[in-house]
């Protein structure tokens, strides 16, 4: 009777631990793809700067683990010197907003959000560019999305023809807290110790 009750309790304990693991891993890693309208941001005209606001709620139990910004066949319209600034913004009006700056020099988003990258003197020949967010930028993005809205700011000081801009975000299940695993190990150790004591008495 005592031995059976102990084995039953131990079995329930293991089932509880397995359930915790299952609940922590129900959601598989996923990739979410976003593209502005128009996809080429009006070919990033040098007389304008743009905000692209995205409304998105990260699914419950997930955290962003990587993100990348992809430019398809981007090219400068001629061989002149050129600049392209891209910022990650805490918030922005949903969709694409185009603002005129008369090809003003400098970064219109200076001091807003965080600067992801400043490209200089891109060639007139087409190329694909992928910008991968670093750990700090990923952590910042996780913070920005908590209210369901974030954005990107683009300021081209030249005209960049392109065939589309895409933001890819990869998420993964939130890790099981180490404390739960430590607690489980401690309970298991305590159970085995109790069992040993009963056997020895």
Determine the longest span between alpha carbons in the chain, in angstroms: 89
Decide if 146 contacts 55 (C-beta within 8 A).
Answer: no
Identify whether 112 is preceded by a cis peptide bond (ω within 30 of 0). Answer: no
Q: Give the pLDDT of residue 189.
A: 54
pLDDT in tens, 32-70: 999 999 999 999 998 999 999 999 999 999 999 999 999
The sign of the CA dihedral 113, 118, 124, 129 is negative
The number of angstroms, rounded, from the C-alpha of 27 to the middle of its chain's C-alpha atoms is 16
Q: Which residues on adjacent β-strands are paired with residue 170?
A: 31, 66
pLDDT score at 28: 76
Please tell me the least confidently modeled range out of 55-69, 87-101, 174-188.
Answer: 174-188
What percent of the chain clears pLDDT 90, i.e. is strictly above it?
A: 65
State pLDDT tens for residues 108-144.
999 999 999 999 999 999 999 999 999 999 999 999 9
More confident residue, 191 or 130: 130
Q: What is the mean pLDDT of the chain?
A: 83
Above 50 in pLDDT, residue 89? yes
pLDDT band at 179 (very low <50, low <70, confident <90, very high): very low
Residue 25 reports pLDDT greater than 90: no
Half-sphere exposure (Cβ direction) of 140: Cα atoms closer than 13 Å: 18
∠ CA(35), CA(37), CA(41), 5° rounding? Answer: 90
> What is the pLDDT, as a whole number, of residue 177?
63
Closest CA to 10 of 196, 200, 187, 199: 187
């Amino acid at each position: 009777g005592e031995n059976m009750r102990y084995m039953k309790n131990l079995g329930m304990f293991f089932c509880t631990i397995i359930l915790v693991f299952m609940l922590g891993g129900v959601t598989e890693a996923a990739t979410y793809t976003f593209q502005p309208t128009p996809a080429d941001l009006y070919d990033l005209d040098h007389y304008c700067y743009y905000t692209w606001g995205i409304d998105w709620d990260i699914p419950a139990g997930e955290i962003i683990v990587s993100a990348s910004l992809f430019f398809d066949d981007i090219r400068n319209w001629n061989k002149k010197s050129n600049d392209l600034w891209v910022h990650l913004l805490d918030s922005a009006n949903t969709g694409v907003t185009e603002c005129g700056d008369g090809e003003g020099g400098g970064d219109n988003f200076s001091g807003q959000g965080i600067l992801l990258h400043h490209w200089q003197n891109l060639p007139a020949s087409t190329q694909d560019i992928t910008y991968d967010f670093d750990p700090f930028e990923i952590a910042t993005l996780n913070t920005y999305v908590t209210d369901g809205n974030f954005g990107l700011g683009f300021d081209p000081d030249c005209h960049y023809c392109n065939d589309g801009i895409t933001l890819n975000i990869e998420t993964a299940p939130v890790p099981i807290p180490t404390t739960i695993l430590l607690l489980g190990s401690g309970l298991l150790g305590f159970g085995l110790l109790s069992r040993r004591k009963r056997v020895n008495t």
